[in-house]
Structures are given as C-alpha cells and as structure tokens.
C-alpha cells in the first residue's frame, strides 16, 4: 500500500495546534461554568429538601446561605416563601427584594414574579414600565407565553411612550446581562 495516497488527509501541524487550543478553551469554559454553577448548590439542595418537607424555617436558613453566594434559585425560593406567607404572614417587600436579586442574576421565574409584584403594586410601588420590562425579559429568556401574554396585557394600559421606555429598559438589561454593555 502506498502511504502517499493518504497525504491529502494528513493533519497539518498548525491544525493540530488549533485543535489542541480549542479543546483547552472548551475545557476551561466547562470547568469555569461548573464552578460558578456550583456556588451555593449544596446549600440550595439542603434548603430544597427542607422546603419539600415543609420545614420552611430550615429552608430559609439554607437558602440564605446559598443566596449570599449568588444562587439565583435560592434567591427565588426565598421570594416564594415570603410572597406565599409560608413563614407566617406574607411579606411582599421581602418577596420583592429576593425576586429582584434573583431576576438580576438572570432567573426567568423570578423575573415573572417580580413583574407581577410591579403590576399589582405589592411590596413595591406599582410601576407598569418595570412590570412590562420584567415580563418582556422573562419572555425573551424563557420563551414563556404567559410572560408574553402578561406583558401584552400591561401594555394595553400604557401610553406608546411608556411602552417604548419599557422596551428600552428591557433591552438595556439584556445588553448589560449578556454582553456587558451599558447605555450609560
């Protein structure tokens, strides 16, 4: 067999180097993502077990630890507990605080819940522009038809200028979150 017939299929040295660099970059991306995703995960899991057992005070203890590490689901969980009154009386201000922190960390369910609070003026000052913004971002991130529907309902009560402002704020949030760009 003539080895020269495989010459066109031989991997060139620069291609081999490029492949090695790409695999290294992929490795770094995966390990960094796993490390970031893991921040607070153990505490969140402990809190979730307590939540499922309806041991809400213990869930709060664990989720506050996870939330302090930036765990968006823990922050959302705290918002749910305070919104629903699982610790006694509902506390819409604390719910809004935790939903806002989770929403700022990119958690679409918190965005939706925060938008509801803005729409209804619970725990926050009623603000259709902020409600529209968070419904819009939640629908963009999660492709959520409920969020789109709620956004469109809120828009019916807004002036065209207010809708434009809400759309601008939503786009600014998306640009800052995903691309690190600010309009300021």
Residue 117 lies in a domain: yes
77: nearest Cα among 65, 93, 60? 60
Q: Provide the 8-state DSSP code for 159.
A: -
Mean pLDDT of 59-75: 98
| CATH number, domain containing residue 46 | 1.25.40.10
Position 181 scores a pLDDT of 77
User: pTM above the 0.85 mark?
Assistant: no
Instruction: Identify the band that residue 150 occupies on the pLDDT scale cut at 50, 70 and 90.
Output: very high
pLDDT, position 14: 57
Query: What are the pLDDT digits (tens) for 27-57?
Result: 444 444 444 457 899 999 999 999 999 999 9
Q: Does residue 32 belong to any structural domain of this protein?
A: no
Residue 80 placed within a domain: yes
How confident is the model at residue 37, as a pLDDT? 52
Q: Residue 166 sits in which domain range?
A: 40-179
pLDDT of residue 114: 98
When divided into structural domains, the chain yields a total of: 1
Question: Is the separation of the CB atoms in 111 and 79 below 8 Å?
Answer: no
């Amino acid at each position: 067999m003539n080895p020269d017939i495989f010459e066109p299929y031989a991997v060139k040295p620069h291609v081999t180097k490029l492949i090695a660099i790409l695999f290294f970059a992929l490795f770094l991306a995966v390990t960094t993502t796993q490390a970031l995703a893991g921040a607070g995960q153990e505490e969140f899991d402990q809190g979730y077990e307590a939540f499922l057992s309806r041991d809400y005070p213990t869930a709060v203890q664990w989720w506050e630890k996870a939330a302090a590490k930036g765990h968006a689901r823990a922050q959302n969980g705290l918002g749910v507990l305070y919104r629903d009154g699982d610790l006694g009386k509902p506390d819409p201000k604390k719910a809004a605080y935790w939903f806002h922190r989770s929403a700022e960390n990119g958690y679409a369910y918190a965005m939706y819940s925060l938008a509801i609070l803005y729409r209804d003026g619970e725990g926050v000052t009623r603000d259709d522009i902020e409600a529209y913004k968070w419904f819009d971002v939640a629908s963009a991130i999660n492709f959520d038809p409920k969020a789109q529907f709620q956004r469109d309902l809120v828009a019916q009560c807004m002036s065209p200028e207010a809708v434009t402002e809400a759309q601008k704020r939503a786009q600014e949030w998306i640009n800052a979150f995903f691309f690190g760009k600010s309009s300021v």
